[in-house]
Structure 1
Amino acid sequence: MQSDNLTGGQELLCINTEKVFDWILNEATFDLSLNDLELPVNPVTGDQLECDDIDLDTVTCTVAPAEVDPIVVLDREDQVFTVDGEEVTLQIVNLRKNFDVTIFVDLVPELGGATVEVGTVEFTRCEQVILCAPDGTDVDVTYTDLDCFVCTAACDPGTTTEVDELDVTVTVRLCQSIQSTFDVTLEIVADFCQPRDILPFPPCPAPTMPQQCPAVFPNNGNGDTNDIG
């Protein structure tokens, strides 16, 4: 029976999985200058915002990987390195990373102090890493931390026909896990997993009685009535 095959000792298995050829963790910090960001309209009144309508001390940012092509492996080049006195061929991998930075600012208290989105700017940063990543392996980049903060912010008043603009410098910090992997088929000796125990349903609750109102019912039987109000 099939169920008999799931019990007993270990068995020789053939599985598909990923072999990790190399794995590094690294950190990067870079600055961005985001200039000429036009102030939006007031989301409540629909009026065009001006420099006097915003609090420059409240400018903030968020950063996220781009929705399209967040990580692009441009190319990789073999290079011989000496590690512990032994020559080894590794790869210099060129990466291109695409991000979106969004800028926010608070309105002055006189206008309600709401937070409004000024705009989103796309930017690209390139990086080289040294990996054991021969042709045929995949290079996977995972961000373990991705954050930003506003370093400086200034507002340029426009003219009667131009919209006021925000100039911001932003510092972006990222921590990343970079692996080179390859799909492999392995032969291993292991136990089959077993299904877990079924959890019992909780018992049915006992009947409950709604809260009564003894102050008004039943009365004390003496015929007196009390006004309620």
Structure 2
Amino acid sequence: MKIKATQIQQAEDNISCMITNLTYREVPQRGGRQERVFTLPNDSTVTLQRVNLQVTGTAMVTFEDETTVSVEFSICDRYYLCAPQGTAIDCQVIEYSCEICTVTASEVNVVIDLCLDVKSSTTVTLDVDAVFCNPRAQQIENSCPSPVLPPQCPAMFGRGVVENHTSYPPLSSNPLIVVQQGEKLCMRAAKVYDWIQDGIHTTLAIARTAITGRIFNVDQGTFYDFIDVAVEDANSGDTLLISSGAYPQDTSLVIDKSLTLRGSSAEQTRITFPDTLPDAAALRLRADNITVERLSLFRTTDEGAEEETLLEIPQRVPGDYYEGIAIRDSILEGGKRTARIKGKDLIFERNIIIHTGDEESLEIQGALGETAIEDNTFRGGDLSRGTVTFARALEEDRFAGTLRLERNRVERHTQLALFDTRNYEDVSILVRENEFDHEDRGGNSIVFLPFEFPEVESILIEENDVTNPNPGWLAVYVDYSSGGDTSPEPGQIQVLINRFVFEQPWGEETDIISPVAPVGFTASGEDFNMGLEDFELEGNIEPNEPPQEIE
């Protein structure tokens, strides 16, 4: 029998212990359970049977470098209780602990304590007299119809006639309960013969494996010195723990299976790529469910390499993308652009992006499902352009689902976001709670290209804090200068409760601009029914202005 039990204990030196997979079995005895006569404190005697139990489980110790060692253990103990032939033994663990006792360079001593609840029982048949009852009468007001019971089986109980049998005692002393019909029931239940609780104890000495490499495959228990070798040997679903240090690569790194790469911390685990690479991408992810976290990725920037990128997630096939990829808690630095991505259900969160090129930081060229760009820090440079663009690169690229750009901190870029609506289908856009300072990189902050506005379900731009000390720009802009002949519905672009600090004048002479916020569109958009009423503007404030009341 398997007992579901798991307990974790953390030692002061960052070593934890967990026990799980607890099972028990009764160890058979030759000739059956042996009997022994015991004298009780009142001088009476009782005959009890000896029950031998074996409890097994797994103790897993996690060391300070996140490596783990699992050891199976087995504890045998004997109990005397009333357990005659025909009874079964049931055992449960009601309390348990796994404690780190001593730690040395070569081993860890673990103390395991279990408290067992042991019962002997058998299944018996109960003969129970039961009755059907009518509910008592309502003394205040009876608003319910009289109860109607389904007929009994005629072959067993007559022709469905319900009679009162006053010979059966009522189920309650309440005289208002009326007995309707009696019935004899047979039920099976467990009869407990004996029941005891006792503790068992053991100590394990768990050897610490000498570390021969800095990259550890948790699932295979293997150490490596080189990331590419560890990736090559890993199976889909494995986790690679990368210890602190520098990991210079000789060439590009491709991950083509579902893996988790986890560093000790982004500040201390640094993967660097050579100045010259045969591939435009330094790191390429080509499988579902890849997670990259707590790593620092670095490559130099070659301004002459037009397609250069630090990270790339390509399409699986045209129009279909790898899904479930997560990049989090990492530092990404270098490359003409930081990342070029096509993905489904992408998570890009809590990263620091140091942009040193003259393209966009993140180019999202295709996105399906839920795309979350959240809680990141983007640091631009002298030539940095857009922070995040959601724009197709090829005819077959497509966008569907929700695009989230939330709680990011951005400095020194020309744009916060560009939404090129070509190949959009049922897209919802949320730009919320971002802090963006253009500094010396002037530009329109949030830009829409109006190719497929009917395919955009909703646009919410809310609670952002945007500063642009450069005159002639807008916070939200619909740009018809590059083409496009559609327009949003009235109020479709919701711009709510933002703080815009923009140098006057707002926009250019060829723009139509709201008088209450740095929001507008190219004047040629009027030919396609674009108007200021397509923006819903409420609660947006300028510095030193009181907040607008929202009705």
Normalised by the length of structure 1, the TM-score is: 0.49
Larger Rg belongs to: 2
Give the structure, 1 or 2, with the largest relative contact order (CA under 8 Å, sep 6 or more). 1
Normalised by the length of structure 2, the TM-score is: 0.22
Q: Which has the higher strand share?
A: 1
